[in-house]
Amino acid sequence: MREGRVRYGYFDDETREYVITRPDTPLPWINYLGCEDFFGLISNTGGGYCFYRDARLRRLTRYRYNTTPAEAGGRHLYLRDRDTGQVWAPTWQPTRSNLDQYTCRHGLGYTVVRSEYLGIRANVRYFVPLGATLEIWQLTLTNLSSGVERHLALFSAVEFCLWDAWDDATNLQRNLSIGEVEVVDNVIYHKTEYRERRNHLAYFACSEPLVGFDTQREAFLGPYHGWHEPETVQRGQSRNSMVHGWAPVGSHHIQLDLAPGASRQITFLLGYHENPPADKFDPPGSQTINKRSVQPLIAHYLRSENADAAFLELRAHWDRLLGNCQVSTPDVHTDRMVNIWNAYQCMVTFNLSRSASFFETGVGRGMGFRDSNQDLLGFVHMVPARARARILDLAATQLPDGGAYHQYQPLTKRGNDAVGGGFNDDPQWLILAVAAYLKETGDATILDEPVSYNNLPGSETPLREHLERALRYTLERLGPHGLPLIGHADWNDCLNLNTFSTTPGESFQTTVSRDGRTAESVVIAALFVWAAREMAAIACWQGHHKQAQAYQDQAARMAAAVTAHAWDGAWWMRAYDHFGSKVGSHECEEGRIYIEPQGLCTLAGIGVDDESGRAEQALASARQHLGTPHGLVLQQPAYSRYYLHLGEISSYPPGYKENAGVFCHSNPWMMIAAALLGHGDVAHEDYLRINPSAREEISDVHRCEPYVYAQMIAGRDAPTHGEAKNSWLTGAAAWNYVAITQWILGVRPTFEGLQIAPVIPESWAGFSARRVFRGVTYSIAVERVGKGNACRLWVDGKRVQGTIIPLPPAGETAVEVSVKLGEPQG
């Protein structure tokens, strides 16, 4: 294990912030602004970009990926001392001046960077108000010196993206000729392509009168100058440049004099606005933007009392969302992640799926079908109505045969043709998401909701039929062992058993060169069993017992196929390849044991209650062969070379990504499995290994943000074992949240009511929780009275049988639950 004992900040749990205390974090440590339609990514030095709804098609500001120094793009602020000519950036980038003091507080939906340099304190707060499509930057400058008046110049700068971020980065022959802006008073309007089919514009406004401005990048920076040394700032004079083509930017120039001890607040707004297509121009017939509808908005948010009020609303919004599930346990990392950061990350994945992070460029992938369904498990209790809408959107991209588009574009909500379907696990996740929604809300009406296929009007059926077809999709695609055919891939996108790619650069995900009628997936089999059992439970709940039995029979048949053909002796196999050979078996030279089937078979209940001991054995084998101090790796031994018949998994160097990296998404399946089998110590130990807060003290090994999960931590075969990558947008968020809240702490929604069945470490004396469920607030106190996981419940002082709290009579909104856990001694 690599050693590292460096922190770059600390958690402030009271304010729900992570406080970064030095700007040179190993990677830019980011946060997200915005909760609904307008989003910004913001780093600890003010970098990043923003967009309206779709990170590719409505990008406001330009961002350069994979650049040096890391992350040069963003929200630039420069200060210049007019007396000495000294220049610095109060957020450190892009000048990287040696600031005397620096902190960045990433909070829920906002970021505050504070610094001191040359006796000037700068404090800048960035956030997106609820319901608005703009970012507010509130900058306060304070003269800390006693006795000296300070004469400062302040320059802002953003670089506009020409809306379609992909086109912006690639289609230069056109784009360098189309940039247009208007400048009126203290507002710079970006209007590229507004003359033709766009009716949206961006604006960058400032609360102060301007001494000057710039809108042309080269005029602002100076030829061959970078963002770290704009000529305009160095000279202390804007050029009032108007852009015509090339690169539109927005830069305000403000002068301010600060008496000793004095402070001044300056507000910037960076926003998106749409005009009615018929009313785009003012006067009509001209080419001038109609600014009548946007100006009042700008005026509103430029007033600091309005901006402050919007900030308080944002805080209250997050208090409300997080208030639905709060816990107090003996472990600070558990509390912090459950109460704040893990829940927050679940909301961010809800909003963005896998589209825009510092590892996802926002120009490629849309919303994943499998991803979004799983993300839902982590946010359904915070925003049930939005979860409902998301389910209906996803189901509408399902195809008539029950399969699904693998991705869809958030702006159009249409399936993405370039990637298509044929990821044969996709449909099952829809069932699991709907089941989670039903358990959380009890809202069975969603099952009758008419939903189209492939978004085709006229093709609507009730949602329940979509679920039915999802099951059928798998049953109609079984291979030689009666196990589901894998198609392009299953949960593991990189296990490509039908691809056989020899062409450099060819997509492993979409290339198919074999007929796909032999390679079978144990993961899809387990998912099917699990989903069919959920369908049975739904049917039962609705009183359809015959139908429930039919689903149970389907599940049992598939479970039997798994037992007959996928038990390898000490663990579950992973797949049969195109030639019918085993994958993830002791017979294999490499890749003998995989994590996914060990977790998922147990979650599906296969080998759990049948005296076979298989689930226990699979768990023990997984821990023995896959366990590392940084979590369980995806498979072992890692593939040491490229295997044509296995595909992308073997394309990664050993220890990275799917080739034996620690996947923080599949680890929680093992935690849940451990909890299901009653092993609280094991489950929680595994939970802590990948819990970002628990890894904070090895930040220079882990390198990604210590407040959110990353997709992957380099496995033991990697030279950088323990190093995380692909933070923020990952199924790890939802699954870790589910593992800790529902299975380890055991506060679990069911169709009949909230269940309390903790499987916590033996050493814990108990914990308490506050959970809002179907409009009722449950205050839960769990006390350990002995060893084991046996549970006795008292609800409002009365003993109830079993572990499910009966739903209270209508009108009752608060319920007290006390739980005695374990067998009392003697």
Question: Rounded to whole angstroms, how far apart are CA atoms 309 and 131?
Answer: 13
- Report the residue number, 216 or 351, with the smaller CB distance to ligand NOJ: 351
CB nearer to ligand NOJ: give 489 or 671. 489
Residue 16: left if φ>0, alpha if ψ -120 to 50, beta else—which one? left
Q: What is the DSSP string of 97-155?
A: ---SEEEEEEETTEEEEEEEETTEEEEEEEE--TT-SEEEEEEEEEE--SS--EEEEEE
Residue 817's beta-bridge partner residues? 780, 795
**493 in contact with ligand BGC (CB under 6 A):** yes
Residue 509 interacting partner from ligand NOJ, ligand BGC, none (CB closer than 5 to 8 Å by kind): ligand BGC
Q: What minimum distance in Å lies between the beta carbon of 338 and ligand NOJ?
A: 23
Closest CA to 346 of 379, 382, 388: 379
Q: Report the residue number, 714 or 754, with the smaller CB distance to ligand NOJ.
A: 714
Beta bridge partners of 10: 19
The one of ligand BGC, ligand NOJ, none whose footprint includes residue 491, by CB under 5 to 8 A per kind, is ligand NOJ
Of residues 304 and 510, the one with the C-beta less far from ligand BGC? 510
Q: Which does 820 bind (CB under 5 to 8 A by kind): ligand NOJ, ligand BGC, none?
A: none
Q: For residue 352, which of 9, 32, 658, 767 has the smallest C-alpha distance? A: 32
Of 159, 375, 440, 658, the residue at the interface with ligand BGC (CB under 6 A) is 658
CB count in 10 Å sphere of residue 393: 16
Position of minimal CB gap to ligand NOJ: 493
Closer residue to ligand NOJ, CB minimum distance, 106 or 665 = 665
Q: What is the DSSP string of 340-352?
A: IIHHHHHHHHHHH
Q: How many whole angstroms separate alpha carbon 351 and alpha carbon 37? A: 9
Query: From the list ligand NOJ, ligand BGC, none, which binds 492 (C-beta under 5 to 8 Å, kind-based)?
Result: ligand NOJ
Question: Considering the complex, what minimum distance in angstroms separates the CB of residue 429 from ligand NOJ?
Answer: 9
At its nearest, how many Å lie between ligand BGC and the CB of residue 783?
42
CA torsion sign, 791 to 795 to 799 to 802? negative
CB of 359 to ligand NOJ, least distance (A): 11
Residue 221 one-letter amino acid: L
| 425 lies in the binding site for ligand BGC (CB under 6 A) | no
- Residue closer to ligand BGC (CB basis): 583 or 729: 729
What number of residues does the chain have? 826
**Contact, 533 vs 603, CB < 8 A?**
no
Q: Which does 528 bind (CB under 5 to 8 A by kind): ligand BGC, ligand NOJ, none?
A: none
Q: State the nearest-atom distance from the C-beta of 651 to ligand NOJ, in Å.
A: 13
- Which of ligand BGC, ligand NOJ, none binds 702 (CB below 5-8 Å, type-dependent)? none
Provide, for the chain, the percentages of residues in helix, strand and coil under a 3-state DSSP scheme, each rounded to the nearest 5.
30, 25, 45
* CA atoms of 601 and 673, how far apart (whole Å): 9
Cα torsion through 367, 371, 373, 375, rounded to 10? -100
Task: Provide DSSP, 724-766.
Answer: EEEESSSTHHHHHHHIIIIIIS-EEE-SSSEEE-----TT--E
Could you say which of ligand BGC, ligand NOJ, none residue 578 binds, taking C-beta under 5 to 8 angstroms by partner kind?
A: none
Q: Which does 370 bind (CB under 5 to 8 A by kind): ligand BGC, ligand NOJ, none?
A: ligand NOJ
Q: Kindly tell me the burial class for residue 451, based on how many C-beta atoms sit within 10 Å of its own C-beta (0-12, 13-18, 19 or more).
A: buried
The footprint of ligand BGC on this chain (CB under 6 A) covers a number of residues equal to: 6
Q: Minimum distance from CB of 354 to ligand BGC (Å)?
A: 8
CB within 8 Å of 197: residues ≥ 6 apart: none
CB of 673 to ligand NOJ, least distance (A): 18
* Cα 756 to Cα 156, 540, 739, 817, 823, distances in angstroms: 53, 21, 14, 9, 16
User: Applying CB under 6 A, does 494 fall inside the site for ligand BGC?
Assistant: yes
**Position among 207, 428, 441, 509 found at the interface with ligand BGC (CB under 6 A):** 509
Residues forming the site for ligand NOJ (CB under 6 A): 354, 368, 370-371, 491-494, 658
> According to the binding rule CB under 6 A, does residue 657 interact with ligand BGC?
yes
Provide, rounded to whole angstroms, the least separation between the CB of residue 647 and ligand BGC.
10
Closest distance of CB 711 from ligand NOJ, Å: 6
Our finding on whether 730 is near ligand BGC (CB under 6 A) is no
Per the listing, tokens 């900030």 go with 311
**Closer to ligand BGC at the Cβ: 518 or 651?**
651
Q: Does 650 bind ligand BGC (CB under 6 A)?
A: no
Beta bridge partners of 412: none
The answer to whether residue 733 forms part of the interface with ligand BGC (CB under 6 A) is: no
Per partner kind, with CB cut-offs from 5 to 8 A, the member of ligand NOJ, ligand BGC, none near residue 159 is none
The secondary element (H helix, E strand) that includes residue 304 is helix 304-322
Q: Residue with the closest Cβ to ligand BGC?
A: 493
Q: Which two tokens stand for residue 731?
A: 């199924």
> Hey, which residues are catalytic here?
493
The CB-of-352 to ligand BGC minimum distance in angstroms stands at: 15
Name the DSSP letter for residue 339.
I
Cβ-based nearer residue to ligand BGC, 509 or 585 = 509
* C-beta of 182 vs 493, nearer to ligand NOJ: 493
Give the single-character DSSP code of 340. I
* Rounded Cα distance, 157 and 220, in Å: 9
CB-nearer residue toward ligand NOJ: 367 or 760: 367
* CA 481 to chain CA mean position, Å: 37
Q: Which residues bind ligand BGC (CB under 6 A)?
A: 493-494, 509, 648, 657-658
